[in-house]
Amino acid sequence: MRFRSVRAALVWALVAAATPAAAAPAPSGPRPDCPRLSESWYGDNRARLQRLIDTRGTCSGSGNTPVAAFDWDNTVTKNDVTDATLAWILRHDGILRPANWRDTSEWLTGAADRALTAACGTTTPVGAPLTTSAAPRCADEILEIRETGRTMDGAAAFAGDWNRRRTVPQYAWVPQLLAGHTVAELTSYARRARTEALAAPVGSTRTVGTHTLPAYVRYYAQQRDLIRTLRRAGFDVYIVSAGSEPVTEVWSRGVGVDARHTIAIRSVLDRHGRITPWNQGCGGVPATRGGAIPYIDGKRCWINQEIYGVHGAAAWRRQDPRHRVALAAGDADTDVTFVGDATGAHLVLNRNKSELMCRAYDDADGRWLVNPMFIGPLPRRPEPYPCSTNAYNAIDGGRGPVLRDDGSVVPDQRDSVH
């Protein structure tokens, strides 16, 4: 039986070889009217992205509506738009004094409360604007806690139990600091901060308190072109950010993405329409003071819930391919889960973030695209990423090895795209 099978295979091979080449259908390329990318990319990334657009978009003739999801800060723009807005607010006395600083976060420590009280004073009436423009110590404490999670004296600003793959307190803290404002007021601040940041020269800085911060923000031309091309090709494009949602919405309009397609930290409003220290929950987690924001696994949850209608505990789990994005783009460990969920391409801007870069360089499914930052790319990281030992961000704040889907350990990876 085995001999007859081999002989039959040989016969069919001879028949195929004798068949004229003209009998085989000519391969069909993309139609000339299909949307095309126009900006330059590193290596073959543009060609690979174009291939995805051609095979998943309207030119494929599939009739499906594919989804693309982008992180915002340092993925679509150079520099962080929430930080730019916070800096503008501090320079224009936009923080309203809370009755108690510990009301702003479930995890704010006594040391942070004392540092903020000493720096910002108690003479300003509760609910009135703090004069942070003339009080550098107050601005410094706020910026240091936001940036490092520590006070200016180095004390821990946050303590307690939280899931490190669902939230980070200092990210949640920015919307919480804006309690008492309406969404319209915050939107107005973000618009003015945006105008200022876009006008500032590339590379410029400014001093707030004693902190030196980037003064400028720029849309990446390549990402703007990619988003525009994806939308023309029939993709549903979303922004998924760990920033404040009203702030992110102001910026996402600049790439043609509306508020309905912008997902970020969503503050709970009081009955007067004012922002509170609480934010909306995801995946069965109720409203909390920062417990489930779009951060690492939280980005997957918010995508599953808001885009695909998956609710409850299931929203935290990877879905089947029909309920996952085709393209995902990010730049940091906060993006690693949802970028890894993409079925067509995982686009990564290299900012030397270990867990994300371990997965990108390991390229387990052959669909990871690594690109240097388009403005001010980082130099090559001299030592390998510690993928096999401590690049993974654990739920309890510890570190561990990065594992593939099959449980094998990702070996240490050298930085090669910069």
**157 in the same domain as 104:** yes
pLDDT of residue 385: 98
pLDDT of residue 33: 73
Among 365, 345, 366, 360, smallest CA distance to 415 is for 360
pLDDT of residue 7: 37
Q: Judge whether 86 lies within some domain.
A: yes
Assign residue 276 the CATH number of its domain: 3.40.50.1000
**182 in the same domain as 294:** no
What is the domain extent for residue 274?
45-79+219-400
Q: Judge whether 4 lies within some domain.
A: no
172, 196, 214 — which closes off a domain? 214
Q: Judge whether 91 lies within some domain.
A: yes
pLDDT of residue 394: 98
164, 186, 214 — which closes off a domain? 214
pLDDT of residue 30: 55
Q: Judge whether 51 lies within some domain.
A: yes
pLDDT of residue 61: 87
**298 in the same domain as 272:** yes
Phi, psi of 237 (to 5 degrees): -105, 130
376-391 pLDDT, tens digit per residue, is 999 999 999 999 999 9
Q: Judge whether 364 lies within some domain.
A: yes
Q: Judge whether 3 lies within some domain.
A: no
**128 in the same domain as 251:** no
**143 in the same domain as 51:** no
**369 in the same domain as 240:** yes
What total of structural domains would you count in the chain? 2
Instruction: With a cut of 70, list the residues of the chain below it in pLDDT.
Output: 1-32
**255 in the same domain as 372:** yes
pLDDT of residue 29: 53
307-321 pLDDT, tens digit per residue, is 999 999 999 999 999
**164 in the same domain as 100:** yes
pLDDT of residue 18: 37
Q: Judge whether 16 lies within some domain.
A: no
Q: Judge whether 71 lies within some domain.
A: yes
**226 in the same domain as 190:** no
170, 198, 214 — which closes off a domain? 214
**173 in the same domain as 255:** no
Torsion of CA 297, 299, 301, 302, to 10 degrees: 160
235-271 pLDDT, tens digit per residue, is 999 999 999 999 999 999 999 999 999 999 999 999 9
pLDDT of residue 5: 38
pLDDT of residue 64: 87
**288 in the same domain as 166:** no
**227 in the same domain as 210:** no
